[in-house]
Amino acid sequence: MTENLFAALPPVPESLVIGGETLDITPLKVGELTIFARTVRPLAGKLGPDPDWLRLLSEDGEAVILALAVACRRPPEWVSGLALDDAIRLAEAVFGANADFFIRRVVPEITRVSQTLGTMIPGQMPSSGSSDPATVTPTS
């Protein structure tokens, strides 16, 4: 019962100083989810409990910058002008504040959809373990 009571309370923002400004990082609002989810989609499979932020920035920098801008409620140009260590700290705070949404919901759903789509593409082999046990033919 106590857990349900605390779940109804608004989240406490994580305050941190980034780029000379104090930011209050909170979970995304419903209106921010659409653009944020669309932005992180290309890199969602690279997210996890301990992401390689340098790799994410080097491979998907524009997506990371836009996602961070939406989540910290600052312009993308402001995020682009951050020092690398500040950008990494900001990313950790943003994704930490929204970890439940990303790690428990977005990543598994994107993985599921990509596996489903992979089986629908002609010439693609289903991933191992995806065959129905009834279709397996014994070899001996």
The candidate with the shortest Cα–Cα distance to 71, out of 101, 27, 104, is: 27
Coil/strand/helix, residue 131: coil
Mean pLDDT of 113-117: 81
- Of 60-69, 92-101, 131-140, give the lowest mean pLDDT range: 131-140
Phi, psi angle pair for 73, to nearest 5°? 60, 45
In this model, does residue 106 exceed pLDDT 70? Answer: no
Cα distance from N-terminal residue to C-terminal residue, the chain: 56
Q: Which parts of 12-132 are beta strand (E)?
A: 14-18, 21-25
pTM, entire model: 0.62
Do the Cβ atoms of 36 and 119 come closer than 8 Å?
Answer: no
Q: Is the pLDDT of residue 109 over 60?
A: yes
Q: What digits encode the pLDDT tens for the residues 18-61?
A: 989 999 998 888 889 889 888 888 887 787 777 787 888 788 88
Structure tokens at 111: 């993985």
Mean pLDDT, the chain, whole residue set: 78
Query: Mapping DSSP to helix (H, G, I), strand (E, B) and coil, where does residue 100 land?
Result: helix
